[in-house]
Amino acid sequence: MKAWIWIVIALAVAFTLLVPMQLRVIGAGERGVVLTWGRVEEVIWQEGIHFKKPFSQKVKKMNVRVLKTEVEIGAASKDLQEVSATIALNYHLDALAVNTLYQRVGRDFDNVIISPAIQEVTKATTAKFTAEELITSRQEVKDDIKLALVERLSGFDILVDEFAIVNFNFSEQFNAAIEAKQTAAQNAIKAERDLTRIRVEANQTIARAEAEAKSQILQAQAQAESLKLQRAVLTKDLIQLRAIEKWDGKMPTYTGGPVPFLDLLNK
């Protein structure tokens, strides 16, 4: 009787110890890849608590949240300028195909698939553009790289969320050439503005001179008209003065009309 008691106790203890060892919790943002005797099963465990078969099964957790990786790249442009870039990629695993990805690649997919793909695609894309175009057409370069990565990684059930070129760096010689070109362009713009300003100022000077000349002409015309009037008035007064100076004080004798002298004075 006592032996059976000990057997029941032993079984209870074994059950208590072994059962928790066979429970697996799949957390939020995770999926479970089930392996039975090393073979990947088609079933994928969703979030929650699962019971695995003892001894024969193992469970590999796969993170299906959005992940980020950054890659430093050295490449060359179409015109053979050295280019270095930092590429940032946000991606996530296809939650419905994590078992296939694990079977093909395992869990080191970042180093095995993603980083090499970024390296290869970026180098191939930058080789299509000149160094100057990599600067002026950066959005087009970004779109081309992203499109190529989407196509490449989707074949491994890895989905691209966002892609960014953190920076493009060039050689010191190229940077100096770009700076010189920008300086020349700025100087050309300044020279054009200065020329426009000079033209405007010259036109303003001409306008002022023309206005001043017209003003002087009008003033001269006004003065001439004034002198003309003054001469007319002075001539009339001068005639009367000369007549008075020559008069001897005697009234002239005249019959049949006004006295010419008096009439002259009244004019």
Q: Is the pLDDT of residue 89 over 70?
A: yes
| Of 36-40, 140-144, 203-207, the least confident | 203-207
> Which domains are assigned to the chain?
2-63 (no CATH), 67-170 (3.30.479.30), 176-267 (no CATH)
If pLDDT is split at 50, 70 and 90, which confidence band does 213 have? confident
Q: What is the pLDDT, as a whole number, of residue 151? A: 94
63 vs 21: which has the higher pLDDT: 63
- Give SS3 for 30: strand
First to last CA, the chain: 172
Burial (CB count within 10 angstroms: exposed 0-12, middle 13-18, buried 19+), residue 194? exposed
Q: Is 52 within 8 Å of 32 (Cβ atoms)?
A: no
Determine the Cα–Cα distance for residues 67 and 56; give it in Å rounded to an integer.
31
Model pLDDT, residue 160:
96
Residue 98 bridge partners (DSSP):
none
pLDDT at 101 over 90: yes
**According to the model, what pLDDT value does residue 19 have?**
47
Tell which residue, 109, 134, 135, 110, has the closest CA to residue 122: 134
Q: In degrees rounded to 5, what are phi and psi of residue 25?
A: -105, 120
Place of tokens 């960014």: 164
* Residues 141-196: tens digit of each pLDDT: 999 999 999 999 999 999 999 999 988 887 767 655 665 666 556 666 766 776 77
d(CA 166, CA 84): 11
* Least confident interval from 66-75, 160-169, 202-211, 238-247: 238-247
pLDDT greater than 90 at residue 20: no
Of the ranges 132-146, 150-164, 203-217, the best mean pLDDT one: 150-164
What is the pTM for the complete model shown? 0.61
Distance CA 113, CA 224 (A): 100
Greater model confidence, 84 or 224: 84
Per the CB < 8 A criterion, the answer to whether 98 and 33 are in contact is yes
